[in-house]
Structure 1
Amino acid sequence: MPDRSARRVVASGLLAIVLQVMAAAPSAAAGDAQRRRPERFGIRLLEIPENRLDDPRSHAFIVDHVNPGTTFTRRLEVFSTSPRRQHVNVYPAAARVGDEGFTFAPARTANELTSWITLDRTAVDLPPHGRVPVTATVAVPPTASKGERYAVIWAEIASASPGPSGNVALVNRVGVRTYLDVGPGGEPPTSFRIGEVAAGRTDDGRPRLVAEVGNTGERAVDLEGEVRLSEGPSALSAGPFRSTRATTLPPGGHGQVTVLLGDDLPAGPWKFRLTLRSGRVSRTATGTITFPAAGERAAAEDGPSVPVLAACAVAAVAAAALLVVNLRRFRRRPLDGEAA
């Protein structure tokens, strides 16, 4: 029987994942008259477990921990902002979390988790500016082994190529991630640590903060955060500056979180406060930083490094010494016709 206890709550206005549909490019002869406005469609969660209302990840993704033999459902919604009708395919597909973060398998590749997911619709016909609900049922076998599994529920639009043959499909898809942990007892701990925090600049000179992070828990983490600066030159404060994308790490994994800062920030020194979060778990690091001068990094990359310069200097000294020795030996050797 499906688990219909008070584990879910309908939540309107959840995070929507939207994708711009690629329109056929008009020919030069067609001109601007045949250009189409970008059309968008998306898929989003309509409900989350009641016990995860305080977990921001559960507002965007399916995140849960269940015992073997559990069956539960999640309601999603496929929607469109297009003025035209759209046919959208909906299906689960495999995903993994590794050194590259959360990655999706090609096309409709299956895995163990996708074999547990059943959708009440495999396709929807969206009316103009329409929306259609889709229910996903997840049936975990009683024999399922302990561990976290990953998948994605895709909404996909495929259209024929505008080329002469018309036999190439343009595929656009957008999805909702699924992080499902299976095992008896309570949920495994989620934890991470913040290591070294360094100040630097991007290639175009924008200041940034880069933090080394490690997943010390037993579930995957999606790390996002913000930086606040204080006690800068002339007692300036700045921020908050938020990370532009999440860094996903598997259990035991390591990576970096980068936060871009304001273009016009003085070099410092600054006091920083970096706060990173994954779901309910947050960590904070503080310290003092000074940003390198603009162009300093580029100069270091374009010119020879210190070790290279040192090696060149040693080689030059050795060559000079050898030259002196050879000159002395040359002067001492008698010329042809001279007495020994």
Structure 2
Amino acid sequence: MIVDVLKKYRIVILFVVITVTSVLLIVYLSRFDYWIGDYKYHFYLDRKEAHIVEYRGKDEVLYVPDKIGPFPVVYVDMYVFDGIDTIKEVHVTNTPQYVVFFNLGEMNKVFFDERISSFDYDFNNCNKIKKIVFPEGLQEISGGFPNCSSLVDVYLPKSISRISLHAFIGTQFEANHSNDKYYVAGNGVLVFCNVNLNEDVVIPSGVKNCCVSLVLEKEHSDRKIFFPETLERINNIVFAGDIFYFGGEEFTELDIYGKGGLIVAPADSPMAKYCEENNINFRPMTEEEEKEWREKTEAAASEITYQDE
């Protein structure tokens, strides 16, 4: 009897010792970075993931590791790939998430894994990139090519439904479309909108996702912004003095922050319900306002420049 009790206590004690030792080992190992090949990794054993924190390689063609042993690489520190002139080509995959390249003076080609659904890489000030062809099936560009001044030719597939605000800022591609009032590509994505943001703004019918900044160019300016009933996604801020006009459209993604402005839409619309649930200033649209909203958004459609034109 006593022997059985002692055995049970030994098992419990052994379990406690193993558990405590494992926890201490995880804490200890997670404090250090380790070089494996040309990459220095930080391992988060509790989350079973690895981050790349440094690179010392001289590769001309770069494949960012997506796994090291059993650990997926989910993040690359901001300045790991800064100013490395040996890199000429980069191959993009679904993982790791969000990789930034700064000042790659010789890099001129980007290749995409055809299976990727989201592009999370940022190439900043890589001035030998001239052409980018995003693959069919790509749905989202959350990274981009900001300040890649030589980038002139960009193809966006029909599958694209979202593009980051900074994706092509400071590129020749952006400059080439500076005379297009509305430039639309992909699945109804408004890529560029060259209008005076301190005056009333009309987003044309046909646009499904407004991927441009509507932030005021000066501190205060009362204005009306008319959004079309074709709109499916919106993520925006209603500033004080703004009046946003919507129709009765259903949204696949709706994220609006109230900063003192006003939303106007049909009384029984999804937008009306959203404003009520999120405590955003709202009033029902009048018949006269609905007529004005519809006329403006439909008329503006004739001013769209499409990628395929």
User: Whose RCO is larger (CA < 8 A, sep 6+)?
Assistant: 1
| TM-score in terms of structure 1 length | 0.19
| TM-score in terms of structure 2 length | 0.21
Structure ranking higher in strand proportion: 1
